[in-house]
């Protein structure tokens, strides 16, 4: 006896198969992108996680220091000093941090000493860091430079040191890709069958509630 299926059932099966094909393709391409970024973050994460306990010498910052004579008249404030440093040292980016510590009285050798104001200007890129320190009244500014080797460069990328909005958005694509891979992986596992979809939805809901409870109890 020939088994003749309902045409509507055949249409639904055909649509489900097409959806599964598209999900597999998207899952594979997003997985490839995630693997590329994941390799970078995985290697740098291992270095960061074990650098202290296992004393991994791979990441290294070469340090040097110079003192630059300031122009006359002296910079009026820390922001003016930052702009002067940008020109003097050919720095093509804005400072990561500019701080001013006001003058204050300190006790040294049982005497009250008036300590002048201090300005600090920091510039950061994945390859290097520049830290300028200036005591108001001096005619020079001290600049410390740290140059990263290859492994230090990777770890600084991992932490986003000196990176702008574009890098933050790029890293967000990795996080979003992981979420997408998790969801599409569940859908591929269920094969879009109603009972499996309900089971996956129940599991995700339970997990979400558990995470919510943990976060609200902190």
For residue range 20-46, what is the model confidence (pLDDT) as tens digits?
Answer: 777 777 777 777 777 777 777 777 677
Q: Output the six-digit token pair for 60.
A: 């290294």
Q: Which residue has the higher pLDDT, 52 or 147?
A: 147
- pLDDT higher than 60, residue 2: no
What is the per-residue pLDDT for 217? 65
Q: Output the six-digit token pair for 56.
A: 């991994």
For residue range 97-156, what is the model confidence (pLDDT) as tens digits?
Answer: 999 999 888 888 788 888 899 999 999 888 889 999 999 999 999 999 999 887 777 777
What is the per-residue pLDDT for 60? 74
DSSP 25-45: HHHHHHHHHHHHHHHHHHHHH
Average pLDDT over residues 190-197: 63
Q: State what percent of residues in the chain have pLDDT above 70.
A: 69
**Which whole-number Å values give the CA distances from 11 to 6, 15, 39, 196, in the listed order?**
9, 6, 42, 20
CA 40 to CA 157: how far, in whole Å? 9
Strand order in the sheet with 97-101: 61-69, 140-148, 128-135, 118-124, 97-101
For residue range 55-88, what is the model confidence (pLDDT) as tens digits?
Answer: 666 667 789 999 999 999 999 999 999 999 999 9
Strands (E), the chain: 61-69, 97-101, 104-108, 111-115, 118-124, 128-135, 140-148
- pLDDT higher than 80, residue 11: no
Q: Output the six-digit token pair for 185.
A: 């992986």
- pLDDT higher than 90, residue 53: no
Q: Which residue has the higher pLDDT, 131 or 165?
A: 131
Look at strands 128-135 and 140-148 and give their pairing.
antiparallel
Q: State the number of CA atoms in the 13 A half-sphere of 196 facing the CB.
A: 9
């Amino acid at each position: 006896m020939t088994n003749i299926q309902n045409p509507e059932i055949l249409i639904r099966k055909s649509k489900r198969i097409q959806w599964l094909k598209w999900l597999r393709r998207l899952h594979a391409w997003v997985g490839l992108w995630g693997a590329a970024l994941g390799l970078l973050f995985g290697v740098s994460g291992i270095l960061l996680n074990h650098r202290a306990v296992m004393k991994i010498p791979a990441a290294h910052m070469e340090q040097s220091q110079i003192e630059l004579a300031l122009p006359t008249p002296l910079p009026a404030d820390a922001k003016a000093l930052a702009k002067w440093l940008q020109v003097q040292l050919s720095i093509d980016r804005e400072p990561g941090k500019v701080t001013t510590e006001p003058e204050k009285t300190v006790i040294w050798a049982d005497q009250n000493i008036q300590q002048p104001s201090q300005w600090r200007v920091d510039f950061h890129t994945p390859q290097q860091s520049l830290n300028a320190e200036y005591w108001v009244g001096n005619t020079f500014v001290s600049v410390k430079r740290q140059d990263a080797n290859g492994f230090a460069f990777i770890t600084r990328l991992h932490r986003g040191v000196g990176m702008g909005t574009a890098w933050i958005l790029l890293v967000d694509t990795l996080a979003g890709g992981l979420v997408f891979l998790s969801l599409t992986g569940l859908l591929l596992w269920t094969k879009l069958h109603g009972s499996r979809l309900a089971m996956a939805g129940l599991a995700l809901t339970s997990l979400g509630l558990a995470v919510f409870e943990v976060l609200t109890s902190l």
